[in-house]
Amino acid sequence: MSVRKLKPITPGQRFRIVNNFEEITTNKPEKSLTVGIKKSGGRNQTGKMTMRHIGGGHKKKYRIIDFKRNKLDVSAEVLSVEYDPNRTAFIALLEYTDGEKRYIIAPNGIKVGQTVISSETAEPNVGNAMKLKNIPLGTVVSCIELRPGQGAVMARSAGSSAQLTSRDGKYAIIKLPSGESRMILVECMAMIGAISNSDHQLTVSGKAGRSRWLGRRPRVRPVVMNPVDHPMGGGEGKSSGGHPRSRNGQPSKGYKTRNKNKESNRYILSKRK
């Protein structure tokens, strides 16, 4: 993967840094695996805006992704690596030996024509899905389940990965991208390798209109609001606005919001940085 900086022939391109999309092999999605997706514009069922900064954006179709990788012991060939407008990572189209096609999150380094499999006895190669009890210690993994059969919920975004550090009884110890070490049942599935499109974080949009294409409306800074609109509003000139806090008064910038009595706290061995 690589990025390139455009020549500043327009104001919007002056600071723009774009993805080369070298890994992408086709621009047409598999029709049988796409469905329509409706937008709410941040409104609820009565038409009232309940979420701010949402609306507009380009029309998209949703690609049905196989997060469970539950087609066991059947090998599949990678037909294409595609762009997905619904996520930062790329996706890969697989065709199994029985003719079924499925999308998966594409790992870094996957190639067209490569064979992948989901199995307990598979080799720990990039793209294969295995249970944590069968993966060698120290392996870089992604698309990790939290409960057996639930489907991948962790380390799914572009460039992210986790590391299997050790096993203790029925639990595996995973070091997550945030730096947190956590116990996960060894019966949970994970994919070998890091997620594709690792250069996504280096891209720069270059103009406000690109955010509008993504369905993001403008956001007003709290400091410039009036006191009636936000706790940090009001004051003469460029006043500081007091302690950083949310619209409903909850402190930010380091304030801990995680519930001390949360059931899953006992599975966390060391907190994130």
pLDDT at residue 18 in the model: 94
Look at the chain and count its residues.
273
CA dist 182 and 95 (Å) reads 34
pLDDT at residue 273 in the model: 72
Q: Which two tokens stand for residue 80?
A: 């294409």
pLDDT at residue 60 in the model: 95
Residue 172 contacts residue 164 (beta carbons within 8 Å): yes
For the chain, what is the largest distance between any 2 Cα atoms, rounded to a whole number of angstroms? 70
pLDDT at residue 52 in the model: 95
Matching residue, tokens 């059931």:
263
pLDDT at residue 44 in the model: 96
Q: Which two tokens stand for residue 1?
A: 């993967």
CATH 4.10.950.10 correct for 220-273: yes
Residues of the chain scoring pLDDT < 70: 1
- pLDDT digit string (tens) for 38-51? 999 999 999 999 99
Closest CA to 57 of 209, 213, 218: 213
CA dist 129 and 76 (Å) reads 12
CA dist 104 and 2 (Å) reads 22
pLDDT at residue 41 in the model: 95
Which residues lie closer than 8 Å to 32 by C-beta, 6 or more apart? Answer: 101
Look up residue 244 and give its DSSP letter.
-
- pLDDT digit string (tens) for 28-75? 999 999 999 999 999 999 999 999 999 999 999 999 999 999 999 999
Closest CA to 130 of 138, 176, 64, 122: 122
Closest CA to 126 of 147, 101, 98, 105: 105
| Domain segments of the chain as ranges | 20-42+52-201, 220-273
CATH of domain 20-42+52-201: 2.30.30.30
Neighbours of 48 (CB within 10 A): 8
pLDDT at residue 1 in the model: 62
CA dist 119 and 17 (Å) reads 40
pLDDT at residue 240 in the model: 77
Identical fold between 20-42+52-201 and 220-273: no
